[in-house]
Amino acid sequence: MKAAVVTGTEVVTIQEVDKPVLKDDEVLIKVATAGVCGSDLHLFRGTHAFRKPPAILGHEVAGDIVEVGKDVKKFKVGDRVTVEPHLGCGVCEFCKQDLVNLCTAKAAPGTPKWIGAFVEYFNAPEKTLYKLDDKVSYEVGTLIEPLAVAVHALERAQVKEKDCVVILGAGTIGLLVQVVAREMGYKTIITTDTARFNRDISLKLGAAAALDPLSEDVPAKVKELTEGRGASLAIIAAGADNILDQASACVRRRGEIGLVAMITKKIPFYCYSVVFNEQNIYGAMTYETRDFKKAAEMVNGGLDLDLFVTQKINLERSQEALDVLSRKEENVIKVIVTV
Ligand SMILES: NC(=O)c1ccc[n+]([C@@H]2O[C@H](COP(=O)([O-])OP(=O)(O)OC[C@H]3O[C@@H](n4cnc5c(N)ncnc54)[C@H](O)[C@@H]3O)[C@@H](O)[C@H]2O)c1
Ligand SMILES: [Zn+2]
Ligand SMILES: [Zn+2]
């Protein structure tokens, strides 16, 4: 079968690879769609923490079950599904608390333990599967994974007041956080993005304001829109040198800051602001299974995410799919690879 493999820095090659051999608790999925994610870009650019070339791209996937292992109980051939793409060791202190995202021995697609999703056939254990409602397109089904990241980012917050959330960065993740915040009942949602296209989408999705951090004073605007109080929560979904300072300045006393963006270099931060204002900072890494379940329920319940799919590109042209997201020369939120 065909697979899109990163074979060198910014080089994707279509190669023939073996179809996965099923374990008893697994199903084989004929892949319909796979999403290009920021972590695929890291692999593409050679900056990923654990995926190194040669590696098959992709972990956001939707398709049809074409084969089931003998121990599979709840799924059958023909079911349309998506996959929660991580598998814990099952015995560590984190797995015991259902925190697969924190398991240091977890298996993830695109590593020697599990094939990547930019392939014709993808294997997955039954316990990682979620059915897609007939009304849900494969494209939108593929978005359940990043939607689960957004659910987790907000579920990690402990602040009780749901009056105002500021989302710094309105790319795929920031915009999905916006959608989830709206569903959770946040009254005022303010976003920022340097790209006009992203700000426009955010406004279409109902943001009270979508600010340009390069030309507007973001904390001042947030204060203006919250009667001087500031936001109860800021979610960081973009990387910039001033992003932590900006988040802290947007948030009120006893407010919270959630870090979702993967900022892997050191950035300056005036931390006294956190002390003086008694703010909390937390990190959010992928999702727990309950977050993924909630994301799947939202999509199966009719959550409209069609706006997010800006490009559809065939597997054979995976190089172009990665280039589009990497170069950002055209308006892009989510690139979906079709198989
Ligand atoms: N924690 C996790 O589990 C997890 C999961 C997925 C992605 N991520 C990370 O979240 C971040 C966002 O991911 P994404 O897929 O939405 O990426 P993306 O590139 O689609 O979005 C980032 C957005 O930030 C905007 N931006 C750039 N500089 C900005 C600034 N100074 N202020 C405001 N916006 C700015 C860009 O225009 C872009 O729209 C990335 O760092 C990614 O690695 C984390
Ligand atoms: Zn992803
Ligand atoms: Zn574990």
Q: In which domain, by residue range, is 333 found?
A: 2-148+287-338
64, 106: one domain? yes
Distance 272 CA to ligand 2 centre (A): 34
pLDDT score for 47? 87
Q: How far is the CA of 171 from the centre of ligand 2 (A)?
A: 12
Nearest atom (ligand 1) to Cα of 176: 16
Exposed (0-12), middle (13-18) or buried (19+): which is 228, by Cβ within 10 Å? Answer: exposed
pTM (whole model) above 0.85: yes
Whole-angstrom CA distances from 195 to 107, 208, 279, 323 are 35, 17, 29, 18
Closest atom, ligand 1, to C-alpha of 153: 1
* Ligand 1 pocket: which of 173, 205, 285 to mutate (most atoms within 8 A of CB): 173
What is the Å distance from ligand 3's center to 225 Cα?
Answer: 44
Element (H, E) at 144: helix 144-155
pLDDT digits (tens, 9 = 90+) for 144-196: 999 999 999 999 999 988 999 999 999 999 999 999 999 999 999 999 999 99
Please give the DSSP secondary-structure letter assigned to residue 303.
Answer: -
**The total number of structural domains that make up the chain:** 2
- pLDDT tens for 191-238 read 999 999 999 999 999 999 999 999 999 999 999 999 999 999 999 999
CATH number of 23's domain: 3.90.180.10
322 and 40 Cβ atoms separated by less than 8 Å: yes
Sign of CA dihedral 157, 162, 167, 170: positive
Burial classification of residue 195, based on how many CB atoms lie within 10 Å of its CB (0-12 exposed, 13-18 middle, 19 or more buried):
middle
**Do both 188 and 51 map to the same domain?**
no
- Residues 97, 114: one domain? yes
User: What residues flank ligand 1, with Cβ below 6 Å?
Assistant: 38, 149, 168-174, 192-195, 198, 213, 237-240, 260-262, 284-286
